[in-house]
Amino acid sequence: MYDVVVVGAGVVGALVARTLAKYDLKILILEKESDVAMGSTKANSAIVHAGFDAAEGSLKAKLNVRGSEMMEQVTRELGVKYNRNGSLVVAFESERKEVEKLVARGIANGVKGVRLVERKELHELEPNLNDDLDCALLAPTGAIICPYELTIAAVGNAMDNGAELKLNFEVSDIKKTDGGFAVTSSKGETVETKYLINSAGLYSDKIAAMTGDADVEVHPRRGDYMLLDRECGNFCSHTIFHTPTKMGKGILVSPTVDGNLLLGPTATDILDKEDTKTTAEGFASVVSKANDNVKNLPLNKVITSFCGLRAVGSTGDFIIKMNDGVITLAGIESPGLSSAPAIAEYVEKLLTDAGMKADVKVDYNPIRRPAHYFKTLSMEEKNEIIKKDPRYGKMVCRCESITEGEIVEALTVNPRATDIDGVKRRTRSGMGRCQGGFCSPTVVELIARELGVPFESVTKFGGASVINYGKTKGDN
Amino acid sequence: MKSVDLVIVGGGPAGMSAAVAAYDAGIKDILILERDKSLGGILRQCIHNGFGLHRFKEELTGPEYAYRYEIQVKERNIPFKTETMVLDISEDKVVTAMNSTDGMFQIKAKAIILAMGCRERPKGALNIAGTRPAGIFTAGTAQKFVNMDGYMPGKKVVILGSGDIGLIMARRMTLEGAEVKAVCELMPYSGGLARNIEQCLNDFGIPLMLSHTVVEIHGKERVEGVTIAKVDDRRRPIPETKQYIECDTLLLSCGLLPENELTRAAGISIDRITSGAVVDENRQTDIEGVFACGNVLHVHDLVDYVSEESDIAGKAAARYIKGENAAALPCTVELETDGRVRYTVPQRIVGKEDVTVYFRVADVFRDIKITVRDGERVIISKKKQKVAPGEMETVKITKDMLASLEGNKLTFSIE
């Protein structure tokens, strides 16, 4: 019998599990995919919003501002990259009123340092802005982060503190039992728990329905993104938004914490919760809207494009409720990433208020070694490590400078990667300009070796996503 | 810090040829740094034949061609380190590298030859819409799986791009039992060698669909199919021509890009068209004593030309180390192009000797003249039945021409 089962290992579930892992509780995280951070968490704008655009008094506003305040400490403890680069919401002259309203809302929401900047200062701040832009909101507390790095680190830290993780566990049934719930997977495996946290993202409505709550409605809103080479990481220093519409915050142009430049997203409401196809129209829209904000965009430096789905709730606000041992966290669309640490804190309070009995563990350790620590070491420190373990002297991914030692770590440290994309999200191998062209065969070899599985069974992201079909003629 | 006369970054055909040439020109203190497990570079996985026709007057496979040079390197006892990655080259020629046995180390070099080769243009750069399943590889990655690892990355294959590796892989996958359904080429002509189209596609009945591209990828976990379409003369897909092809694999052969991260970081000027360093006829970059040759300088069609170019760089580096060419650089002639000639290598001439200029054209042209002008004056006019972007062209600027130049510019054009 678990004390807490968390359904869904996105950024929200991960931070909830990590927050609760400090208590003497038996915690289990369930995830239907072959890795954590596989839903909305994997593909979004990677922004910690300052908190100026949610309506005053809403959960979104409260949790965003609080989450943004907490993020610095959370990322420091978890060894996750975080950069307070500041956000700009730019406007043409015709949109000035909207931006002024936004500044007022930011002040009302308690966002620190938010102000209006005029044309001259604006163009000095960002020389690549479209010359016609007139003014902007500047929020110095806006930041950038890598959402899957945060999620992997949070799950890893929760596991280091005793939490368990079951991957490929798709919840298909939840039954009320004496003193808790029986949660059953599509493969027929059942686990029992006292408390159930529903952080299932796009499927939080389905999970809510299994717990008897038919009122939760969530639909996907798709968004195309384009990612540019690290050569372009200095194109702008702030995250540049355009004045928002009711479909979202428009197309942003932003550096990433890994030094790339990100453009996107589009916003299209759809029905299919699995439809992450990119479209030619989407690309065209990203490019044309990004060009409203900036000039001289080096579009020949695009290294990849992707599509993410936001889990949009029916109420316009986050849907957070506790009912009879179930906590539902639904409709956690933007600013969900920014709010995640605060949502976790909120869940902690709901549980303790509900009388959950638990003491803080004596050996609780909130610190996780940074995933990318090796890169940051001095030559002497690196040589110390290479002397002990020569695998750190063997370069596998030449674009991002990732060694065999780091890849083996990704396959052995909590939560362990089991496929190529898992290794990629943990180490960045294959994320550079050649996009895995050179290193993927070596990564396949290392996965097969470390996991003790046949070469041809290694997948890109679990399931039927195999890389090879078997041996060539000569070897059969 | 350890110092070496000549550090060569890369032990593929370019690096090995340059090392041998420099050694034979009297420089014995050489170190080759190679990132792979052994010398040979990408030739190791190119097990087909067709290499060496110019250089050795016989048809060799890639590994055989590489071996010819590996023997020469080993006969001369030229030192090399494998599985060694060069991380940085500084302007004052300090090379920082790393491997398992030495850890991270630095070497001060008198001269450096850059011979890092090139890489393939990845899918991301192509902005193909659709899903992102397993089963999308560059042709070279598939070649490594098949030829080096002995595994089959696909059974039903569509290839986008008709670069040489794509053509070679069409045949290779077919021979291994895969069904190659089509090779789509965005341009109205192929970027590959004519002989490869004949021997790799036509001989196996694989259709080459010119002016076609892949507009959408289908499949959730593994590729299930692609939608292709014909493109108009501005390379935009024509919606009415869309057709679905069922396949489990999409191979990409959409061009090669010189790998110049180290070059850029060292502050060396890069040619916008070749994506390689700007060099003179000695293949010297704008940092004195730093040379570049092979596919890192510009993408070659034949490895024979890579060797030829690397000889030049190796000899020039030797002269530089011995202090021989310092005084002999009185004139600088800039080489310009009309756009129909896309680029030239070298981009400038600093000496007084004969220079062979290599170049590529921007389109297929028939019954034309390759013209070189000194101001208004035509100094070379060479008739050609056909030139194509896939094949490298050369002209020779003789020392007499150089001696009689009126201006300091030579313009290369197609007329």
Q: Which two tokens stand for residue A242?
A: 């355009």
* DSSP 8-state code for residue B176: T
Q: How far is A88 from chain B (nearest CA, A)?
A: 28
Q: Please tell me the number of Cα atoms within 13 Å of A404 on its side-chain side.
A: 22
Tokens 């209006």: give the residue.
Answer: A116
CATH topology of domain B122-254: FAD/NAD(P)-binding domain (3.50.50)
Residues A374-475, CATH architecture: Orthogonal Bundle (1.10)
Helix (H) or strand (E) holding A83: strand A82-83
pLDDT-derived band at B41, boundaries 50, 70, 90: very high
Chain B, residues 227-256, CB within 8 A of chain A, namely: 237, 248
* Spatial separation of the C-alpha atoms in residues B141 and B48, rounded to whole Å: 16
User: What sign does the dihedral B120-B126-B128-B132 (CA atoms) show?
Assistant: positive
* Spatial separation of the C-alpha atoms in residues A252 and A238, rounded to whole Å: 10
Q: Does the domain made of B1-120+256-328 have the CATH classification 3.50.50.60?
A: yes
Tokens 């994320």: give the residue.
Answer: A431
Q: How far is B406 from chain A (nearest CA, A)?
A: 39
Measured between CB atoms, which of B83, B137, B151 is closest to A470? Answer: B151
- In this chain, the answer to whether the domains covering B1-120+256-328 and B122-254 adopt an identical fold is yes
Q: Where are the alpha helices (DSSP H) in B251-348?
A: 261-265, 303-321
Average pLDDT of every residue of chain A: 95
Examine the residue annotation and report whether A49 is marked as an active-site residue of this protein.
yes
Residues B36, A395 contacting (CB under 8 angstroms): no
- Chain A residue numbers with beta carbons less than 8 Å from the beta carbon of B132 are 276, 278, 306
pLDDT-derived band at A248, boundaries 50, 70, 90: low
pLDDT of residue B123: 75
Share of chain A above pLDDT 70, in %: 99
pLDDT-derived band at B189, boundaries 50, 70, 90: very high
**Probe site for chain B from A472, A473, A475, A476 (most B CB atoms < 10 A):** A472
- Chain B residue numbers with beta carbons less than 8 Å from the beta carbon of A376 are none
If we measure between CA atoms, which residue out of B300, B414, B289, B292 comes closest to residue B347?
A: B292
Q: How far is B274 from chain A (nearest CA, A)?
A: 15
- Chain B residue numbers with beta carbons less than 8 Å from the beta carbon of A457 are none
pLDDT tops 60 at residue B326: no
- Chain B residue numbers with beta carbons less than 8 Å from the beta carbon of A300 are 125
Chain B, residues 32-61, CB within 8 A of chain A, namely: 35
Domain boundaries of chain B, sorted by first residue = 1-120+256-328, 122-254, 329-415
Indicate the burial class of A414 (C-beta count within 10 angstroms; 0-12, 13-18, 19 or more).
Answer: middle
Q: What is the pLDDT of residues B56-112, one digit of tens each?
A: 999 999 999 999 999 999 999 999 999 999 999 999 999 999 999 999 999 999 999
* Spatial separation of the C-alpha atoms in residues B155 and B177, rounded to whole Å: 7
Indicate the burial class of B409 (C-beta count within 10 angstroms; 0-12, 13-18, 19 or more).
Answer: middle
Q: Please tell me the number of Cα atoms within 13 Å of A409 on its side-chain side.
A: 20
Q: What is the mean pLDDT of residues B366-388?
A: 94
* Spatial separation of the C-alpha atoms in residues A449 and A457, rounded to whole Å: 12
HEC string for A24-76: CCCEEEECCCCCCCCCCCCCCCCEECCCCCCCCCCHHHHHHHHHHHHHHHHHH
Chain B, residues 197-216, CB within 8 A of chain A, namely: 215-216
pLDDT-derived band at B327, boundaries 50, 70, 90: very low
* Spatial separation of the C-alpha atoms in residues B205 and A286, rounded to whole Å: 41
Enter the CATH code of domain A82-145+221-310: 3.30.9.10
pLDDT tops 70 at residue A476: no
**Between A and B, how many residue pairs show a Cβ–Cβ distance under 8 A?**
138
Share of chain B above pLDDT 90, in %: 92
Q: What is the pLDDT of residues B151-172, one digit of tens each?
A: 999 999 999 999 999 999 999 9
Helix (H) or strand (E) holding B15: helix B13-24
pLDDT tops 80 at residue B207: yes
pLDDT of residue A54: 87
Q: Which two tokens stand for residue B61?
A: 């496979």
pLDDT-derived band at A101, boundaries 50, 70, 90: very high
**ipTM of predicted assembly, 2 dp:** 0.93
Instruction: Return the minimum-mean-pLDDT range out of A184-193, A241-250, A451-460.
Output: A241-250
Cβ distance B151 to A468 less than 8 Å, yes or no, reads: yes
* Spatial separation of the C-alpha atoms in residues B44 and A465, rounded to whole Å: 28
Domain boundaries of chain A, sorted by first residue = 82-145+221-310, 374-475
Touching check for B154 and chain A: CB below 8 Å? yes
* DSSP 8-state code for residue B142: H
Q: Which amino acid is residue A352, in one-letter code? A: T
pLDDT of residue A246: 67
Touching check for B82 and chain A: CB below 8 Å? no
Cβ distance B123 to A474 less than 8 Å, yes or no, reads: no
Q: How far is CA A160 from CA A133, A156, A367, in A?
A: 49, 6, 10
Q: Scanning every residue of chain A, which has its alpha carbon at the shortest distance from the alpha carbon of B257?
A: A434
